[in-house]
Structure 1
Amino acid sequence: MKATLKQVIPPFIYDALKSSSKYGWFGNYLSWDEAKKNCSGYDSELILDRVKKAVLSVHNDEACFERDGILFYEEEYNWQLFSFLMLVAAQNDGRIHITDFGGSLGSSYYQHKKILSFLKELKWGIIEQAKFIEFGQKELQSNSLKFYKSIPDCLQDQSPQLLVFSSVLQYLEKPFELIDTILQFEYQYIFIDRTAFVRDVNHLITIQKVHPEIYDASYPAWFFNEDAFLSPFLTKYELVASFRNDDYCNKKDSYFKGFFLSKK
C-alpha cells in the first residue's frame, strides 16, 4: 500500500510538490538494514485508521475509490490492468479470479468494480497484513471480495488465474525470496505494475520520504535492475507485454514499469 505522489494526490498539489527536494527517494545503501536504520518509520495504526475510514466511504458509495486513504470522487481506471483482465476473462468464459498481493483494503477492486460489473463472475482475493485482513473480513468481505493472510489460504478457497503485484515488490526486504515462492504456485498469469527500476547493473536500495499530504513516513525501497528482476519469472513465464508507468521519481536514471506474464 505504499504510495507515489502522482497516484494519490490531486494534480495541482502534485505539480506544486514535484519541485520539492525534501520528498522522494534518496541514498544508495549497502543493505536493507542500513537503510532501515536511517528511516523515521511510520505510524502503522494511524495509516490503517486513515485507510479504514476512506474505504468505508467508498464501500458506502460516498466516493468512487481510495488509494492510501485519499478519496477520489471521479471514475479513474488502470487501463493496463483492465486490458489484461479482459484477456483473462475472454479465456475463462467471462470469469476472473484474482489474487491481489498487498492490495490494501481493496483499492484496485473498488476502483474497477463498476467497469467489471458485466462479468459472469469476479472473485478478488486480497493478501495483506494481519490487521488489514481482520478489518476486511469483518467489514468489507463479500462473495466477490475476500481477504486472506497468505497465498495458500487464498488457493484453498479460490482458483485464481491471475496474480497481481502493484507497487509492492520494491517495498519488501527480500523480494526475490517471495518471487521464488510464488513461482511454485503456478498462476496462469502474473500482472506486475508500478515497480521501480534503475539503469544500472546492480539493484539499488534507497529511502523513500513520503510527503505528509499522503502520510508522514520514510522507509527502505528497492530500485531493481530490470533484467535481473525479470530473470526468475522468465524461467516459467513468457513476457507478453511491458509498459511504462508515469509515476514521478526524483531518482536519477530511474523509471517505473509494469509487465504481463503468461505461464509457458
Structure 2
Amino acid sequence: MSEVQYGFCGNYGSWEEALQHSRGYDDPAILEKVKHALLKVKSGESVYERDSVLFDEVQYSYPLLTYLLFIASENRQRLSILDFGGSLGSSYFQCRKFMRHLRKLKWNIVEQKHYVECGRERFQDDVLKFYDRIEECCNAESPDVILLSGVFQCLENPYEVLSEVMGYEFEYIIFDRTPFINQPDRITVQRVPPEIYESSYPIWFFNYDRFHNFFNDRYELIDETDSFEKDQLEDGVHSQSKVMLFRRL
C-alpha cells in the first residue's frame, strides 16, 4: 500500500480482501474525530460537520431537505426518521433548522454499538435518539422513512441489508450521497488524508441499473438527482453520487 496515495484505490474481489488492505470502520480514530467535531456543532462553536470535518457554513443537501419536508407534509407535519448509519447526528444537525416548524419530529439513528453508546451519553435528547438495531427503533418510534446517507456503500453486504430494510415496509426510503459507476459493482479502499484522520476502509461503487432493478415491484422511484459528490478512482473511472426517494407500492 502506498503511503502517499489517498482516495479510492483497488478493485477487490471481496469485502474481506479489501479489509485486509485497510483499517476498517471500527477504527476508533473515526469516532473520536466525529465526536469532537459534532460536539462543537451541538454547542454552537461551529455550524456544520461532514465526515468529521468542520465547515464555516452549512453545505445543505437541498434534495434531501425537499424529500423530508414532502414526507412531513404528507403526514400532517409529523416526521419520524430512521437514519441508518447516521453517525452521531450529522444529517440531523444539518437539517434541523428547517424542521423546527414541524408538529412532531423524531430523528432516530441506528448505528454501531460504540456510536450508540457515545450518542446516548453526549447527544441524545427528546428529538435525537440512538438504537442498536432497526427492529428496536421500529418498535419504539414507527418511522415513516428510512434514510441511508453516505452509508449504503460502506456496508459489507449492501443488498442483503437493503432486502432486510424493504422487509420492514417503510413508506419511504431515501438514499443520499450514494455513488454509481457505469460498470459492474466494484469494491475499492478509501484512504483518508491524514488532515481529516488517518484511516482507510472498504467502499462500494454501484452499477446504476442493478441498483434500480433490485426494487422490482415493491417500491417506485419518486425522484432522483445528482448530489454534490463526484469522484475519480485510481484507474480513471468516474463516479457520480445520487440522492433518491422511493415510495412503497
Identity over the aligned pairs, expressed in percent?
Answer: 41
Please point out which of 228, 231, 239 is paired with 1:246.
228
Matches of 1:193 and 1:52, distance apart in 2 = 22
**Structure 1 match to 2:154:** 171
Tell me how far 1:46 sits from its aligned partner: 2.1
> Retained in 1: the 8 A contact 2:143–2:170?
yes
Q: Aligned to 1:248, what secondary structure does the other structure show?
A: strand
Q: Aligned to 2:195, what secondary structure does the other structure show?
A: coil
TM-score (norm 1): 0.87
Tell me how far 1:41 sits from its aligned partner: 4.5
Matches of 1:41 and 1:155, distance apart in 2 = 28
**Structure 1 match to 2:206:** 224
> Retained in 2: the 8 A contact 1:42–1:216?
no
**Structure 2 match to 1:77:** 60
**Structure 2 match to 1:47:** 30
Name stretches of at least 5 consecutive residues in structure 2 with no aligned partner: none
Matches of 1:146 and 1:40, distance apart in 2 = 28
Give me the CA root mean square deviation.
Answer: 1.6
One-letter identity of the residue aligned with 1:177: E
Q: 1:150 to 1:43 in 2, by over 3 A?
A: closer
One-letter identity of the residue aligned with 1:225: N
> Retained in 1: the 8 A contact 2:220–2:246?
yes
> Retained in 2: the 8 A contact 1:77–1:112?
yes
Please point out which of 183, 195, 202 is paired with 1:213.
195
For 1:2-31, what per-residue CA distance to the aligned partner results, in whole angstroms no more than 9, with x for missing partners?
Answer: xxxxxxxxxxxxxxxxxxx82211221211
One-letter identity of the residue aligned with 1:232: F
> Retained in 2: the 8 A contact 1:242–1:260?
yes
Tell me how far 1:68 sits from its aligned partner: 2.4
Q: Which moved more, 1:59-68 or 1:134-143?
A: 59-68
Q: Which moved more, 1:84-93 or 1:212-221?
A: 212-221
One-letter identity of the residue aligned with 1:148: Y
TM-score (norm 2): 0.92
For 1:50-74, what per-residue CA distance to the aligned partner results, in whole angstroms no more than 9, with x for missing partners?
Answer: 2222222122122223222222332
Matches of 1:259 and 1:236, distance apart in 2 = 15
Matches of 1:141 and 1:106, distance apart in 2 = 9
One-letter identity of the residue aligned with 1:50: K
Matches of 2:26 and 2:222, distance apart in 1 = 39
Tell me how far 1:111 sits from its aligned partner: 1.1
Name stretches of at least 5 consecutive residues in structure 1 with no aligned partner: 1-20
Tell me how far 1:119 sits from its aligned partner: 0.9
**Structure 2 match to 1:93:** 76
Q: Does residue 108 of structure 2 align to residue 125 of structure 1? A: yes
**Structure 2 match to 1:107:** 90
**Structure 2 match to 1:9:** none
Please point out which of 157, 160, 165 is paired with 2:140.
157
**Structure 1 match to 2:245:** 260
For 1:95-121, what per-residue CA distance to the aligned partner results, in whole angstroms no more than 9, with x for missing partners?
Answer: 110000010000110111112111111
Matches of 2:106 and 2:24, distance apart in 1 = 34
Matches of 2:12 and 2:67, distance apart in 1 = 36
**Equivalent residue pairs, number:** 243
